[in-house]
Amino acid sequence: MSLACILTGPLHLSVQEQSSAAPAAGQVLVQLGAGGICGSDLHYYQHGRAGAFAIRAPFVPGHEASGVVQAVGEGVSRVQVGQKVAINPAHPCGTCAACRQGRSNLCERMVFLGSAAIFPHIPGFFREEFVMAEGQLTPIDEDVSLGEIACAEPLSVGLHAVHRAGDVLGATVLVTGAGTIGCMCVIAARLAGAARVIASDPSERAQHMALAVGADEVAATVDDSANWSGRVDVAIEAAGHPAALASCLRAVRRGGRIVQVGTLPAEMPFAANDIMTRELSYLGAFRADVEFDWAVQALRTRRADVRPLISAQIPISQSKTAFDLALDRSRSTKVQLIPG
């Protein structure tokens, strides 16, 4: 038996025992190393839904995780018992038009662990043990922590956002929102060769985190720095707030680029004419594709150092404490669940 964090509706969280399963051919039994609580997990916890995806049955959240191999099924050769592994929560079909075009993050039949998009829901990683397909695991032999490895998924989101922006070598990049994803975008922009990375967030703690992972300059809002207005090459909206998007539109230069990675309200005012008159490029960035592998490589070599972002690691048995801490941005950035 092993423990699992279960959500059944808004603020209705419990910890329950679940039976352990043996891996079949091509599968691997994994013990959780660390599982990061993401913004979508917090939406499920607070509201019982994340965007259009509502909880309709008892549901195990969590899509950011690392683990340790406990047992392998027949034919498994990529990983061995005792190895640390990074875990990709995405399982695309590989045959739809999006997959064939090399954009598997847009797969029409995506199975994404820890998401309520599919019913029956696919359980996520906030469990002490789970069985995974071998192809979703990457072995890690380097001396990096399980907490760092669990950051591969959010880092891949930042890398994908910057990849969608196009060439940023030598560019000035603004990131609005300096939570986990915003900070991952800061790291990604640095890795891609941006000359100057600036971040805005009303939280002083978030500003400090952005500086810790490589931002050159921070402020509460774009309007707090007159030097930003109309002078940014690329703006990445990672706050999920209408005011942050408006800041991006004010900050980018003529012909500049805006990438939306944050989830904005379904209905909101939008300065569409700015896109036309200033010939701005407006792009969306959803999850990640090959960037997950890039993230793993950057973490295993510590070219991306995410350690400043990990605020706490709390046993699954204390899941409610962990979720409540994750909701408090004044005290946390990335809270992770661990076995126990």
* pLDDT, tens digit, 9 for 90 and up, residues 181-229: 999 999 999 999 999 999 999 999 999 999 999 999 999 988 776 678 8
pLDDT at 248 over 90: yes
The angle formed by the CA atoms of residues 306, 240 and 303, to the nearest 5 degrees, is 20
Mean pLDDT calculated for residue range 91-116: 95
pLDDT tens for each residue of 146-181: 999 999 999 999 999 999 999 999 999 999 999 999
How many CB atoms neighbour CB 117 within 10 A?
14
The CATH code of domain 2-151+306-338 reads 3.90.180.10
DSSP assignment letter at 249: H
Q: Apex CA 157: angle with CA 151 and CA 160, to 5°?
A: 135
C-alpha span between 224 and 284 (Å, rounded): 26
Structure tokens belonging to residue 241: 């707030």
Left if phi > 0, otherwise alpha if psi is -120 to 50, otherwise beta: which for 83? Answer: beta
For residue 110, the tally of other CB atoms under 10 A from its CB is 19
Q: At what angle do helices 152-165 and 291-300 cross, to 10 degrees?
A: 120
Helix (H, G, I), strand (E, B) or coil at 162: helix
Residue 247: helix, strand or coil by DSSP?
Answer: helix
Q: Where are the domains of the chain?
A: 2-151+306-338, 157-284
Q: Which tokens hold the place of 89?
A: 């929560």
Q: Is residue 50 pLDDT above 90, yes or no?
A: no
Residue 128: Cβ within 10 Å count: 23
Written as six digits, the tokens of 191 are: 């890795």
For residue 144, the tally of other CB atoms under 10 A from its CB is 20
- Provide the CATH topology of domain 157-284: Rossmann fold (3.40.50)
Residues 214 and 188: their CA atoms lie apart, in Å, by 10
Q: Is 233 helix (H, G, I), strand (E, B) or coil?
A: strand
pLDDT of residue 135: 95
Separation between Cα atoms, residue 177 and residue 38, nearest integer Å:
14
- The answer to whether 234 and 272 are in contact (CB under 8 A) is no
Give residue-wise pLDDT tens across range 3-22. Answer: 999 999 999 999 999 988 89
Measuring CA to CA, which residue among 152, 106, 145 is closest to residue 293? 152
